[in-house]
Amino acid sequence: MISERFEKGSKKLAEVDGQVGEEVVAPLGDLGKYIVEFAFGDIYSRDGLSLRDREIATIAMLASRSGVEPQLKVHIKAGMNVGLTTEEIEEIIIQTVPYSGFPTAINALNALKEIVVE
């Protein structure tokens, strides 16, 4: 039985991530269900902040950490889906430097470049 939140989350996930989202989430079992229901059905579906603003926040968070490159790439693509340009995403990555230093920013910029090449 699919919950109302799951359906709402699935639509939001498709809106944010395109087809990539479902591909990431499908093999994850219950963890994937919570990503759809909670992250997308509850949080991304909230009013009060545009999807573009939400992806600025998310890309900044992931770009300022290390070891979450796969998720950063998903959200770089998501950011592009909801209106961020490649140049703006590079700018978000540069904005992380005063707060998290260069190593994470270098890895994030390399993730961005891999996506642009694709």
6 binds a copy of itself (CB under 8 A): no
Phi/psi of residue 64, each to 5°?
Answer: -90, 5
The yes or no reply on residue 7 touching a copy of itself (CB under 8 A) is no
Task: Tell which one of 16, 60, 76, 78 touches a copy of itself (CB under 8 A).
Answer: 60
How many C-beta atoms lie closer than 10 Å to residue 83's C-beta? 12
**Taking CB under 8 A as the rule, does residue 12 contact a copy of itself?**
no
The dihedral built from the CA positions of residue 107, 108, 109 and 113, taken in this order, carries a sign that is positive
- Residues 118 and 116: their CA atoms lie apart, in Å, by 5
Count of residues engaged in binding a copy of itself, rule: CB under 8 A? 54
Distance CA 86, CA 28 (A): 29
Contact between 100 and a copy of itself by CB under 8 A: the answer reads yes
What whole-number distance in Å separates Cα of residue 81 and Cα of residue 54?
12
Decide if residue 22 touches a copy of itself (CB under 8 A): no
Residues forming contacts to a copy of itself in the complex (CB under 8 A) are 24, 27-31, 34-35, 37-39, 42-43, 46, 48-49, 53-54, 56-62, 64-68, 70-71, 87-88, 90-107, 109, 113
